[in-house]
Structure 1
Amino acid sequence: MKVLSATQMKQVDALTLQGEGISAIDLMERASKALFTQLNKDLDLGNTSLVIFCGPGNNGGDGLALARLLHDAGHQIFVYLLTRHRYSPENITNQKRLLDKGIIVEKIDPTTVIEIPSDALIVDAFFGSGTSRPLSSDWKKFIGYLNSHSNTRVAIDIPSGLIADAHVDQHSPVIKADYTYTFQSPKLCLLLPENARYIGEVVVVDIGLDQLAMKESGTSYYYTIREDIIDMIPKFNRFAHKGTFGHAFIVGGSFGKIGAIALSCKAALKTGCGMVSSYIPACGYAILQSSFPEAMVLTDEDTNSLSTVPDNFLSYSSIGIGMGMGTDQKAQQALFLLLSKLSEQQNDIPLMVDADALNILAIHPEWLKLLPPLSILTPHPKELERLIGPWKNDFEKLQKALYFSNTYEVITIIKGANTAIVFPDGQIHFNSTGNWGMATAGSGDVLSGMISSLLAQGFSPQDTARAGVFLHGLAADLTIRKIHPKSLIASDLIEHISSAWDTVAPMR
């Protein structure tokens, strides 16, 4: 699914009107009906009253049209319209439609004092994605008042005060929504961690915009959904054998951190590669053989740390390195040897780099040039900062990560909510699955094993990154159907990888 800018969405709106031969007010009516349906789906409106705040543009027009539909359905509504000298034509039309039904629309400004019923649902239709600058300080008191209520707040398109495609200072007034109903395509501002406190649960509401116009709109931003993953998965072959699905080589571990490798190896096999071999310090041999007998184990000559790499590692289908590895001098030497040998050989073996291997690369940035093209790096935010330097906001973070990926021709996975996958060609793909229960020890090790497995199976690095992150998050979403997110541990993710596969590639 494409993530389009505010300007592009306006263009798609216009092409929809032209292609269908309808007017803007007709499209607004379609949008308001979709909003009405979504509200009733997500919330038990019952006898709840609704307080709807509308601006002067088409976002306000959507709110006015929604107010009429709610009134017709028997709900008590209170409609407030921002005082302006000019309103959009569609806004004016919906003002008249409310007036014809005898519905009072009260004019307000940011200094107006309003009493909001304690049980009312607040709907924010002030500005949406049409605004191109932060709200002035005049709005601080009014928006602060709305945000101080315990009432549920729903924002139409984006919470008022945010800008669809740009950073907004943390001191700027912004509505804090519990639900954001955004039209047709996610907006970039809704996918970034810095705006988490404003957006609540984001729902993409389909309002039937022209699909050809959406398809032809150029963008660097995408939002990965289930249908995207389904298209990547090859048909199953009943004559396949374990060699068909590749042999993943998982490298890492140190004294006290062999569990990271156990998690990665198990996740790799559960994700579908035919075989897994691990390379670990000698101290972990008995642990791994007894805890996960399906994995083959090779050991380093050093007892507690990696110090070298085996001669035959180039024979594997994929390599994953870094989990629990440590950053001592011996581990640094082992990583350098592996990268040096990979850079010397002709046929690139797909590589996944995680955890301490990333921290070692931050210590030795000159080694980044040794990474095979399209290697997949999976940093959490602190590891990313060590690689690319600090950032002022999430928009700058994406640009710095993009420069890094382009410079070293690697795929950078920025782990977190809406995990961002940065391709060296400039594309950035955000993920739609996952939940806060994944913020637990070992979750990243599971992802590393899954990515190593998909690479071994022959998925392209680009498809591997998107599918691995999606399935990882989906496994977590399926887990919390059975247990509370607070109780989720990494092993639970592994146990639900099969269910995640069944969601995107069912056998029945």
Structure 2
Amino acid sequence: MLLSVAQIRETEEFTIKTEPIAPIDLMERAASLFAKKLVEEIDLDSFCEIVVVCGPGKNGGDGLVIARYLAENQKVLVVDSCFDSKPCEEFIINYALIEGNSNVTIVKADQFIQEGNPFTPPFFPLIIDALFGIGLTRKLTGSFEKLVHYINQINGYVVAVDVPSGLLCDAHTPDDYVSVFAHQVYTFQFPKQAFLLQENSSRLLSFSVIDIGLLIPPNIFFNKKLINEEVASLLIHPRALFSHKGTFGHGLLIAGSSRMPGAALIGAVAAMRGGMGKLTVHAPAKVLDALTPYLPEAIHSMDENADWFSGITDTVAQYQSIAIGPGLGTEKVTLEAFERLLHQIKDAQTPVSLVVDADALNMLSKADHLLKWLPPYTILTPHFKEFERLVGPVENDFHRLEKLKEFAQEYQLIVVLKGYYSVIALPSGELFFNQSGNSGMATAGSGDLLTGLILSLLAQKYHPHDAALLGVYIHGRAADLAIQDRHSEESLIASDIVSYFGAAFKSLRK
């Protein structure tokens, strides 16, 4: 789950009262687990020095506890960065515990900065950033700003405690706000929403979560959640022993044009590899001719137009799901056919689930009256630019998320906003952040795979909510498995990803 800073504070207070545990002991537990993880994951002996930069608040108190644990086996330099600020009680208590420790050297931040940067190659220090935590709501200025600039100039490896100092957790961090650049963040109990947004990619490289045993208040409400292996494994349907191809549904893929025939093939292979019983591909003849040698299992529905989608003549009621968009083009004849298709789906006697992607999204942005014709729970799969064509320009990533939630609620749609952490917005106002996938997926055809996979899940009678969540996770999981096996993020292409769909499904069924 993703909680706001206020909600995290609420969980801390609830834990203190319910467990019960004193605040100073909760800090001890969290910081000791941080130190333990650091020792387990990082070779401390490879650094010329270990520097812990401690601010005046509770984050600084965490840093002092971490320094004390590391000093059991290492020499540690602690930078007292209170400046003129009054330190909190936890800082004062933990400062007293390291004073006089022969393995700990304490210097004031002013002295640390004035001495200049002694860490030039080949000297490479480990910097532990415990300056400010999640409570920061304003721009760093004065001595604190100067210190952060200095830290960022040091040739070292930076690990932040809970959050990189200067980064706002619940709001956009303007470009002129300085923050510590963290190679790694060990964050307590919950990921912070700011970590999942592209706009902050220049402020941290990676993060991992440390479970510090916080208890969740029973009445706490959260509408931002994570899709991980545990969640995805609960969504996957069992396969019935006594079944036939009709059991697993019939889907229609409307994709491809004379200019982009490959989109139909990529989407069709993904649909069949996603577990559906039957797939019909509607496309111009030349697209279908190219499809046959690679996917003889697909049923063909030939468009009357030689180059573009111009309409289907058979009834849509025979399909459990329809996907439209990949490689389609936005010709006038295609837009008119799309409008007729929406009317056909609306008039169908049985519900037909719909996935809208790529050029079909671009047609929606050109003829936005069509948005009201989409059936409830239609799944849209835009990337950032396609989404902005639908809703208008956005100011920053937090603004984009707000528009995403409002758009899904207004039109009662499910929107998969594709990115490194793809976000799925539900009509309920819930946002789900996906945690599978890698940068190798930024390749032509990857989005077509996702469209075909979601089409397949819908044909198998997955609820559209579940089809979107599971489809996004499987898509990313397959790419992760491809990288783990024999591919690299540089070499990965769409056909590599789909070849690992089976392994991704199996990993959730174990």
Give the TM-score of the pair, scaled to structure 1.
0.95
Aligned to 2:109: 108
Question: How has the CA–CA distance of structure 1 residues 426 and 324 changed in structure 2, closer, same or farther, with 3 Å as cutoff?
Answer: same
Q: Which residue of 2 aligns with 1:261?
A: 264
- Percent identity over the alignment is 38
**Per-residue displacement from partner, 1:402-437 (whole Å, max 9, x unpaired)?**
121111110111100111111121111101111111
Cα separation, partners in 2 of 1:107 and 1:470, compared to 1, 3 Å: same
2:42 alignment counterpart: 43
Equivalent in the alignment of 2:509: 505
Q: CA deviation at 1:149?
A: 3.0
* Structure 1 residue runs without a partner (length 5+): none
Give the AA of the match of 1:78: L
The unaligned stretches of length 5 or more in structure 2 are none
Aligned AA for 1:238? Answer: L
CA distance in 2, matches of 1:65, 1:262: 57
In the TM superposition, residue 349 of structure 1 has moved relative to its aligned partner by: 1.0
Give CA-to-partner distance per residue, 1:339-397, whole Å, 9 cap, x none.
11112235331111000000000000000101010111000111111001111101111
Partner Cα separation in structure 1 for residue 228 and residue 114 of structure 2: 43
Measured in 1, the distance between the counterparts of 2:133 and 2:4 equals 13
Measure, in 2, the Cα distance between the counterparts of 1:225 and 1:186. Answer: 13
- The residue that corresponds to 1:279 in the other structure is 282
1:21-36 counterparts in 2 under 5 A? 21-36=20-35
Deviation for aligned residue 1:256:
2.8
Match of 1:456 among 453, 456, 459: 459
Task: Find the partner of 2:148 among 140, 143, 146.
Answer: 143
Selected match of 2:384 from 375, 381, 384: 381
Q: Distance in 1 between matches of 2:479 and 2:490?
A: 12
SS of structure 2 residue aligned to 1:65: helix
SS at match of 2:293: helix
Deviation readout 1:191-239 (Å, 9 max, x if unpaired): 11100111211101111111x42x6421121111111111112333211
**In structure 2, how many angstroms separate the alpha carbons of the residues matched to 1:239 and 1:193?**
46
Aligned residues: 502
The residue correspondences of 1:91-490 to structure 2 (distance < 5 A) are: 91-102=91-102, 103-108=104-109, 112-114=113-115, 115=117, 117=119, 118-136=123-141, 139-210=144-215, 212-213=216-217, 216-481=219-484, 482-490=486-494
Which of 499, 502, 506 in structure 2 is aligned with 1:495?
A: 499
| Contact 1:322 1:353 survives alignment (8 Å) | yes
Cα deviation, residue 116, structure 1: 5.0
Judge conservation of contact 1:137–1:173 (CA < 8 Å) in 2: no
| Paired residues of 1:406 and 1:424 also in contact (CA < 8 A) | yes
User: Alignment partner of 1:51: what SS?
Assistant: strand
Which residue type is aligned with residue 212 of structure 2? I
1:111 Cα deviation after fit? 9.1
Residues 420-460 of structure 1: CA distance to partner in whole angstroms, max 9, x if unpaired?
A: 11112111110111111111000000011111111111111
Letter in 2 for 1:121: L
Residue 121 of structure 1 deviates from its aligned partner by 0.7
CA contact (8 A) 1:471 1:500 kept: yes
Q: How much has 1:474 moved relative to structure 2? A: 0.8
Distance 1:216 1:475, change over 3 A: farther
Shift of 1:159: 0.8
1:71–1:191 distance in 2 versus 1, CA, 3 Å = same
Q: Which amino acid aligns with 1:502?
A: K
Bigger drift between 324-333 and 143-152 goes to 143-152
Residue 110 to residue 135, structure 1, CA distance change in 2 (3 Å): farther
